[in-house]
Amino acid sequence: MSFRSIVRDVRDGFGSLSRRSFDVRLSGLHSRGKSQGSINDLIDNQASLVVQNSRWANLPPELLFDVIKRLEESESTWPARKHVVACAAVCRSWRSICMEIVRTPESCGKLTFPVSLKQPGPRDVTIQCFIKRDKSNLTYHLYLCLSPAALLVENGKFLLSAKRTRRTTCTEYVISMDSENISRSSSTYIGKLRSNFLGTKFIIYDTQPPHSGANIAPPGRSKRFYSKKVSPKVPSGSYSIAHITYELNVLGTRGPRRMHCVMHSIPASALEPGGSVPGQPEFLLPPRSLEDSFRSMSFSKSLDHSTEFSSSRFSEIMGAAISTDVPDSEKSKMPLVLKNKSPRWHEQLQCWCLNFRGRVTIASVKNFQLVAALPVAGTSQPPPPPPPEHDKVILQFGKVGKDMFTMDYRYPLSAFQAFAICLSSFDTKLACE
Amino acid sequence: MIADEIVLSFPNITRVTMSKVLEYCNIHGAGADDETRAFDEQFVDVDQKTLFDLVLAAHDLKIKMLYDIVGERTGDMMKGKTPEEIRIIFNIGENSCVDDHPLQKELNPWAFE
């Protein structure tokens, strides 16, 4: 009896046999005697696989959809969420089912696929994370908080990592989705933060371009990346998506420093009713085209970093971002500007205070809360009170332990942008008394 | 002439499966309580062939509660399994899964470590 015919008999006979008689039949095969033991074992194993396999392959797609949908709803937090991701990795049709079912962090508040890290967070709640610093390796790891006691027991789902490297004229933080291999040349590289020598100005670079309407004014080489000649395949390169500045406030070092972030990839209109963040990526690691890899390599080698951070460039960008003297046609292109919320002076405690709602427990000059900065009106008018949407804390960062920091972010920032902004707070040298 | 009884035929549901479905309906007829919950737990603890037949039957007969619990049990089958293991259970051939899709390439190890 050939192996094939035995398997066929088993499969055909399956429907009409009860389990018991099936077992008997198999043992009957054994007693046939002539074949070697190992061949009989192989037949047994293959036969049992066939028993299991033949049915589920025929599950109708709409039923499979229901099963996966139910799974997605029940496995809403990590590490269980990986079961949903595992389904997406099974095959093409399962993947399209999962991509249809899984919603963005903005609409459901959950991080699922890696691209969630570059998509805006939810509007009504924050996504709570923590950052663990390793001073010996100069690395930083971002984790999603998995429970209320996440900070105490360091219970988190790994999200992103960063590694600091010092160069002659600047410091760079390479950001990666790999917790071990954090390097620009790795395929897991997703962006970086670069600071000027003093640590007062920073630029966030994304490997993916912002939306096509993003208006960034720096002249020179970087303009190349915004030209329409960019290849249709999503290129991977170095796109500056935000500028961050730190300044002493009017009280000098006796008061908290001032922070401004100009988010070129997020229009100010994103915070208005019905607003959204355009140009969101579909995947975290888009395929690189050869041409663009080459272009980004030559760009970074030849760039004179000092011109990026020139005062005139930065004030031009900042001024343009917060000016009200903008024609209506250009208003939709104005980038969102974030600034840090001013702490109040607490007379009795003799210190500056911000309400971190329990998420920050150690006083530090690095702690901050970012809110939207409204355009600066003419000096003759007093600034109007900010509308409710603009009063929300969009990013909060603060110390909770020797090398532990919390990071809470919400719409319109993404985890990647929030992480990069927090890294700048580690680096800036502006202290205050 | 009006028949005394109405015959419904379900060619896709075996006698064994139908009797299980009727058993479920009889137990749940009076509403849910601790006993029915205990019943449900052992009711879905069946081999894959039976589970599969129940999923299809519950869907065809539109019995939501039954569909929910067997659907959940089917989902449980996938939990904790690698994509390869799920492929074996569902008999998904190599040619429908091996591809260069960007999502595929960025999942490991981030999602599974």
Query: In this predicted model, what pLDDT tens digit does every residue of A412-432 receive, in sequence order?
Result: 999 999 999 999 998 866 655
Task: Tell me which residues of chain A, numbers 137 to 176, contact chain B at a CB-CB cutoff of 8 Å.
Answer: 158
* pLDDT score at A75: 94
Q: State how far the Cα of A299 lies from the Cα of A291, in Å rounded to an integer.
A: 12
- Chain A: residue nearest B113 by CA? A158
Cα A85 versus chain centre, distance? 16
Cis peptide before A79 (omega within 30 of 0): yes
- Please give the average per-residue pLDDT across B69-88, as a whole number: 91
Q: Is residue B8 part of a domain?
A: no
CB contact under 8 A, A99 and B71: no
Q: Is residue B74 part of a domain?
A: yes
Own/partner pairs for A165-168, CB < 8 Å, 24+ apart? A165/A138, A167/A305
Residues across chain B: 113
**Greater confidence, B64 or A153?**
B64
The C-alpha of A160 sits at a distance from chain B's nearest C-alpha, in angstroms, of 9
Q: Is residue B77 part of a domain?
A: yes
Which residues are within 8 A (CB) of A377 and not within 5 positions of it... i.e. 6 or more apart? A324, A383, A384
CATH value at residue B20: 3.30.710.10
The C-alpha of B62 sits at a distance from chain A's nearest C-alpha, in angstroms, of 12
- Chain A: residue nearest B53 by CA? A55
Task: List the Cα angle A89/A94/A96 in 5-degree steps.
Answer: 100
> Which residues in chain B are contacts of A52 at CB distance < 8 A?
48, 89
CB contact under 8 A, A70 and B72: yes
Q: Is residue B99 part of a domain?
A: yes
Query: Which candidate from A51, A67, A92 shows the least CB-CB separation from B97?
Result: A92
Positive or negative, the CA dihedral A80, A85, A88, A91 is: negative
Which three-class secondary structure state does DSSP give residue A372?
Answer: strand
CB A119 within 8 A of CB A413: no
> Which residues in chain A are contacts of B103 at CB distance < 8 A?
88-89, 95, 99, 113, 283
Cis peptide before A278 (omega within 30 of 0): no
Q: State how far the Cα of A309 lies from the Cα of A246, in Å rounded to an integer.
A: 13
CB A252 within 8 A of CB A433: no
Which three-class secondary structure state does DSSP give residue A347?
Answer: coil
CB contact under 8 A, B52 and A56: yes
Which residues are within 8 A (CB) of A72 and not within 5 positions of it... i.e. 6 or more apart? A84, A98, A101, A102
Reported as type and span, the H/E element at residue A40 is helix A37-56
The C-alpha of A352 sits at a distance from chain B's nearest C-alpha, in angstroms, of 39
Q: Is residue B39 part of a domain?
A: yes
CB contact under 8 A, B91 and A57: yes
| DSSP class of A406 | E
Average pLDDT, chain B: 87
* pLDDT score at B52: 92
The C-alpha of B10 sits at a distance from chain A's nearest C-alpha, in angstroms, of 17
Residue A186 CB coordination number (10 Å) = 14
- Chain B: residue nearest A86 by CA? B83
Q: Is residue B38 part of a domain?
A: yes
CB A117 within 8 A of CB A188: no
CB A293 within 8 A of CB A236: yes
User: What letters, b where the CB count within 10 A reaches 16 and e where it falls short, cover A193-214?
Assistant: bbbbeebbbbbbbbbbbbeeeb
| DSSP class of B29 | T
Q: Is residue B22 part of a domain?
A: yes
* Tokens at B27, concatenated: 């137990």
Q: Name the residue among A253, A295, A269 with its Cα closest to residue A431.
A: A253
Q: Name the residue among A170, A135, A142, A136 with its Cα closest to residue A156.
A: A142
User: Environment class of residue A54 by beta-carbon count within 10 Å: exposed (0-12), middle (13-18) or buried (19+)?
Assistant: middle
Residue B112 CB coordination number (10 Å) = 13
Q: State how far the Cα of B46 lies from the Cα of B57, in Å rounded to an integer.
A: 15
Phi, psi of A293, rounded to the nearest 5 degrees: -60, -45
The residues pairing with A267 across neighbouring beta strands, listed in sequence order, are: A335
Phi, psi of A397, rounded to the nearest 5 degrees: -140, 135
* pLDDT score at A135: 94
Query: In this predicted model, what pLDDT tens digit does every residue of B2-19 receive, in sequence order?
Result: 668 888 888 888 999 999
For A100, half-sphere exposure in the C-beta direction (CA atoms, 13 angstrom radius) is: 12
Query: Which candidate from A19, A56, A66 shows the least CB-CB separation from B91?
Result: A56
| DSSP class of A159 | E
Residue A182 CB coordination number (10 Å) = 25
Q: State how far the Cα of A116 lies from the Cα of A120, in Å rounded to an integer.
A: 8
CB A57 within 8 A of CB B91: yes
Q: Name the residue among A84, A163, A141 with its Cα closest to residue A427.
A: A163
* pLDDT score at A118: 97
What are the residue ranges in chain A where pLDDT is below 50? 7, 13-36, 47-52, 216-235, 291, 295-304, 378, 433
Q: Name the residue among A273, A266, A384 with its Cα closest to residue A324.
A: A384
Task: Tell me which residues of chain A, numbers 61 to 80, contact chain B at a CB-CB cutoff of 8 Å.
Answer: 63, 66-68, 70-71, 74-75, 80
Q: Is residue B100 part of a domain?
A: yes
Please give the full DSSP string across A60-99, using - where no structure is assigned: -HHHHHHHHHHHHHH--STTTTHHHHHHHTT-HHHHHHHH
| DSSP class of A414 | B
- Chain A: residue nearest B14 by CA? A15
> Which residues in chain A are contacts of B96 at CB distance < 8 A?
91-93
* Tokens at A378, concatenated: 């003419």
Range of the domain at B95: 15-112
Count of the separate structural domains present in chain B: 1
Query: In this predicted model, what pLDDT tens digit does every residue of A288-314 receive, in sequence order?
Result: 655 455 544 444 443 445 567 777 777
